[in-house]
Each structure stands twice: as structure tokens, then as C-alpha cells.
Amino acid sequence: MNGHNLAGMTGSRSSALFLPTASLLAVGLVCIALWTGWSHSTSAQTQRGAELYAEHCAICHGAQLEGQPDWQVADESGVLPAPPHDASGHTWHHDDAMLTDYIRRGGQAVLDELGVSMTSGMPAFGEILTDGDIAAILGFIKSTWPERIRVIQAERNGG
């Protein structure tokens, strides 16, 4: 074998190694781009939910999702104060369908339909918020929960 053929074989071997490496690098870059896009989309959706929460929910449920004081004790008129949406509340005990319905139709309509005898002060937001808005608000609320609670609530959604 002369030096020229040896160099050609080395070049082939180098090219053969380069193609899988380049492919892996390309796949890695695509994955990073997709994750970055997903993460930006998720954070943008969470930000939108935070803004909608501040505009429509915080007045009753608190700017820090803390709810009203003594939220488990009805007032003189029999209405329960707004509960917290943080981990100390019961929001995460319900699936998304129920929470969406509660926000859309208002608490009393849902409780009456379920046969629950309590008075809810939660107004209906179905004429004000779209289903996308409600999903964004719920996404924001969930983003504040510890991982363990997010997993439990996701199980209530069948996932």
C-alpha cells in the first residue's frame, strides 16, 4: 500500500465517523431547540395565566394565592370565604374539568348540580374568560404547587 491509499482510507474512516457524530449533533441541536421553544411557550402561558389571575382572581383568592382568612368557616350569611389556591388549599384535590366548570359557571351552579348544600360566593366567569384563559389560570396556579401535589392532581385528571 502506498501513502496515498493509506491517506484515502484514513479519510474514509474519518468521514464514516464524522457522519454519525454530525447526525447526533444535529439531533441534539433539534432537541435543544424544541425544548427551548416548549419551555418558552410554557413560561409564556404561565405568565399569561399569572396576569389573568391577578386581574380576575387575586381580589378574592389573594395575590399570593393565600385565600381569605378563615376560609373554611362560613360568614354570617353562610358564604364560605375564598379558599387559597396554594398547596394549603383544596384546589389541587379536584380535577381540571371540575375546576374549569366551577370557574366557568360559578360555584353555586356547580354545587347545586352536585347536591352539595353550601353557599358559594364564587361568581361565574364564563362570559369573561375563554376556556384558554381558564386553562392558563389553572396552569399558573399549578406551577406554584410542589411537585408532589402536581403529581397527585395530574392523577385526578387521568394522567
**What is the average pLDDT across 91-97?**
96
What pLDDT is stored for residue 69 in this prediction? 95
Question: What is the Rg, in whole angstroms, of the alpha carbon atoms belonging to the chain?
Answer: 26
Question: In whole angstroms, what is the distance from residue 60 CA to residue 53 CA?
Answer: 10
Q: How confident is the model at residue 26 (pLDDT cuts 50, 70, 90)?
A: low
pLDDT in tens, 34-66: 444 444 446 889 999 999 999 999 999 999 999
pLDDT at 40: 43
Using the Cα atoms of residue 101, residue 104, residue 107 and residue 111 in order, give the sign of their dihedral: negative
pLDDT of amino acid 27:
52
Provide the pLDDT for residue 43: 86
Beta bridge partners of 119: 79
Instruction: Tell me the three-class secondary structure of the chain, residue by residue.
Output: CCHHHHHHHHHHHHHHHHHHHHHHHHHHHHHHHHHHHHHHHHHHHHHHHHHHHHHHCHHHHCCCCCCCCCCCCCCCCCECCCCCCCCCCCHHHCCHHHHHHHHHHCHHHHHHHHCCCCECCCCCCCCCCCHHHHHHHHHHHHHCCCHHHHHHHHHHCCC
User: What is the pLDDT confidence band of residue 13, given thresholds at 50, 70 and 90?
Assistant: low
Instruction: Supply the pLDDT for residue 39.
Output: 43
User: For the segment 98-152, what is each residue's pLDDT rounded down to a tens digit?
Assistant: 999 999 999 999 999 999 998 999 999 999 999 999 999 999 999 999 999 999 9
